[in-house]
Structure 1
Amino acid sequence: MNSPVVNKPLTALPTSAVALIESATAPKRLPTPAALKARLPLSADLGAQVAAHRRSIRAILNGEDSRLLVVVGPCSIHDPQSALEYAERLANLAAEVSDQMLLVMRAYVEKPRTTVGWKGLAYDPALDGSDDMAQGLELSRELMREMVRLGLPVATELLQPMAAGYFDDVLSWVAIGARTTESQIHREMASGLGVPTGFKNGTDGGIGVACDAIRSAAHAHRHFGMDPHGHPAIIETAGNPDTHIVLRGGHGGPNYDAASVAAVNASLEKNRIAARVMVDCSHANSGKDPLRQPAVFNDVLQQRLAGDRTLIGMMLESHLYEGCQPLSGSLKYGVSVTDACLGWNATEGLLRKAVAALRYR
């Protein structure tokens, strides 16, 4: 039998509990999504460009566009200046390879943490633990908008559902990470995004949770949420048909090889899910060694050239310079502060060589 719930006055609580309650920091208000979008609006021309990029990605997912979808860029963005320099280089390359590839810029401003650590530009733009999230949201949106201005489709991983409303109009592709693919809240969010979305396989390497996520996100939902003006609301979604799986390996090793991809496609068919697969060339697929990403990329490319049209794209973690560095008072320009990345020169060479192979297949 359940015990009755008793509401105790503060005087009846232990001294330590009272001290915790009284010392709690008052919450700091953030701008609403509507207010931030009004301050940093997306022009009609840029909005039309985002819509066109989304249509192009949908066409690739549906087999109507034979180009390869490549999501490429820093593991996370910590320095807007180096991120924009990378974006400018990528925009120039994107124009040159557009007949065979659609390049999408990674603009990851949230980072999942296994325990603790820097959570990304949206959380802590000063990189010092001050956690000025209002500035982080504004800086992140402004940066994404500049990338769109350069002509690039923009991608991010949506980790905190409350943050999605600040960026949803500038995004052309969204990732749901391995740790959150199983989350009902993220599946509901994805069902109402109106943006092509990739669900990563679980950290154990299994694809069951991703299959469940794809089916869930395709359905209409009513769920708790926040409206653009920051009020609690019942959110109604129509369902998102533009979803796919992202293979990133798991605890048991990589899952990008032809046998693994065939097994994934068999599972997708069994679950009546469209067979469209992206391979993340980093994480467990590369053994967390950025210099192994090209080998993974080329293996998947050869599968594609051999006729596997279910492989719709790849993802690369790449920055101006290879490697990574710990957060400190003296950071090297253009080097990741989270996962180690491939450098720009190696990335550009890899993509150019792949385009040549696609052109003359």
Structure 2
Amino acid sequence: MHVLDPPRFYSQNTVTADSWETKAVSSIPPPASAPVPEPRDNNLPLPSPKGLLQDIPQTTASLTTVSAGKKDVADVVCGRDPLNRLLVVVGPCSIHDPKEALEYCDRLLQAREKHKDELLIKPRTVTGWKGLIMDPDMDDSFNVNKGLRLGRQLLAEITSRGMPVASEMLSLISTRYVDDMLSLGFVGARTTESQLHRELASASEFPVGFKNGTDGSLITALNAVRAAQVPHRYLSICENGAAAVLQSRGNNDCFLVLRGGSKGTNYDSQSTSEAEAEFAAHGALPRIMVDCSHGNAQNHHENQPKVAEDLAKQIAAGRTGIMGVMLESYINGGNRSGLRYGVSVTDGCIGWESTTVVKSTLVSQRVPCLCRDVLS
């Protein structure tokens, strides 16, 4: 058998053609140790939804509040309310301080009693901006375990005081930890097109509003409402925190929220009339809520009372398809980058005095109102 001379950097032993390749490879010096790569993410275990619900259970008062709140809202959304009241969602864009949120809640409770024949007042809340749930310390530490507990404790306290709550459904996972305390949900303009959020709405046991797209188009919200009406199988976590395939039953209490868009406002009489007709033509509920903030306020929170006054006049003139109004409101007006008591840290809000004026406007127009103030 022919004998090969091995390369200079291998052993000088003579090897056969049959064995040279194996011996040559085995003789290659090992490479220097490669650095261990950093993990792509840092895992932070969370409690199961069932575990957190057991740690922070609903009180009897909370259960009663939520149950009644769901029925009240569904009756208004679907046109079954015997008083034909208006659903008005009022509250800040996001909550960062539970103490402030509870003060706002107490003010709403007083207003609710004052206007109980015309208004049923409830707070709006998004317990994350990424906010209270995702970053409760507002320092980018993202202590979600702490945030989940704070968020659930806050909702438990608010509902135990007799105030039903609504929230924007930002996170598919965190919603599982608080959805038993909600009477109303919303899907924002940037997530209305998300199939995952449509599935979440389909599984929700409370009414859900879908906002029109950021460009102002209705078709995205229309498709979302129709998708949420039917059952879905989807991936999520179960009550024990394990990934699972879940089955939704469909939600017939979903509706459109007009919030304006990049092309302009859509709260005027022509826009609301066209929205009602579009939804009715496609077999969707022709009942709409109008957001007085965001695009309809042209991103200036001070414009909200003007929008609300226009809507009150439309309703007083017989526009029955408008079943709700949404306001961004808090203790004090504006917003801020630093901390100042009672002021929103995200979207600008009208203050309590302006909020009171808007409610009085709705009442003075003799519009029966279900005023739903929601903590976000």
**Does structure 2 retain, via aligned residues, the 8 Å contact 1:172–1:196?**
yes
Correspondences of 1:9-48 after superposition (within 5 Å): 21-48=37-64
1:41-87: CA deviations, max 9, x gaps? 01234213211110011111121211111110111101111111011
**Does structure 2 retain, via aligned residues, the 8 Å contact 1:190–1:197?**
yes
Whether 2:201 is the aligned partner of 1:190: answer yes
1:290-349: CA deviations, max 9, x gaps? 1100000111111111001110011100111101101x4xx1100111011100111012
| TM-aligned CA deviation for residue 147 of structure 1 | 1.2
Whether 2:95 is the aligned partner of 1:87: answer no
**Paired AA for residue 238 in structure 2:** D
| TM-aligned CA deviation for residue 244 of structure 1 | 0.4
Match of 2:24 in 1: none
What is the RMSD of the two structures over their aligned residues, measured on CA atoms? 1.9
| TM-aligned CA deviation for residue 358 of structure 1 | 1.7
Query: How has the CA–CA distance of structure 1 residues 23 and 61 changed in structure 2, closer, same or farther, with 3 Å as cutoff?
Result: closer
**For 2:362, which of 350, 354, 359 is the aligned residue?**
354
In structure 1, runs of 5+ residues without a counterpart are 1-10, 112-118
In the alignment, the residues of structure 1 paired with residue 186 and residue 290 of structure 2 have an alpha-carbon distance, to the nearest angstrom, of: 12
**Paired AA for residue 178 in structure 2:** F
In the alignment, the residues of structure 2 paired with residue 24 and residue 317 of structure 1 have an alpha-carbon distance, to the nearest angstrom, of: 38
Whether 2:295 is the aligned partner of 1:284: answer yes
Match of 1:116 in 2: none
| TM-aligned CA deviation for residue 25 of structure 1 | 4.8
Match of 2:254 in 1: 243
Partner of 2:120, secondary structure, is strand
Match of 2:123 in 1: 105
| TM-aligned CA deviation for residue 31 of structure 1 | 1.1
**Paired AA for residue 137 in structure 2:** A
Match of 2:312 in 1: 301
In the alignment, the residues of structure 1 paired with residue 340 and residue 124 of structure 2 have an alpha-carbon distance, to the nearest angstrom, of: 20
In structure 2, runs of 5+ residues without a counterpart are 1-29, 370-376
Bigger radius of gyration? 2
**For 2:147, which of 136, 144, 158 is the aligned residue?**
136
**Does structure 2 retain, via aligned residues, the 8 Å contact 1:97–1:352?**
no
**Paired AA for residue 161 in structure 2:** L
1:152-208: CA deviations, max 9, x gaps? 110111111011111111000000000111000000111011111000000010010
**Paired AA for residue 67 in structure 1:** R
Match of 1:271 in 2: 282
1:204-239: CA deviations, max 9, x gaps? 100101000101100011111110110111101110
Partner of 2:132, secondary structure, is coil
**Does structure 2 retain, via aligned residues, the 8 Å contact 1:107–1:154?**
yes
In the alignment, the residues of structure 1 paired with residue 278 and residue 195 of structure 2 have an alpha-carbon distance, to the nearest angstrom, of: 21
In the alignment, the residues of structure 1 paired with residue 60 and residue 343 of structure 2 have an alpha-carbon distance, to the nearest angstrom, of: 34
Percent identity over paired residues: 40
Give me the TM-score of the superposition, normalised by structure 1.
0.90
In the alignment, the residues of structure 1 paired with residue 138 and residue 107 of structure 2 have an alpha-carbon distance, to the nearest angstrom, of: 25
Give me the TM-score of the superposition, normalised by structure 2.
0.86
**Does structure 1 retain, via aligned residues, the 8 Å contact 2:312–2:362?**
yes
**Does structure 2 retain, via aligned residues, the 8 Å contact 1:70–1:313?**
yes
**For 1:201, which of 195, 212, 226 is the aligned residue?**
212
Whether 2:193 is the aligned partner of 1:175: answer no
Q: How many residues align?
A: 337
Q: Which has the higher contact order (CA 8 A, sep 6+)?
A: 2
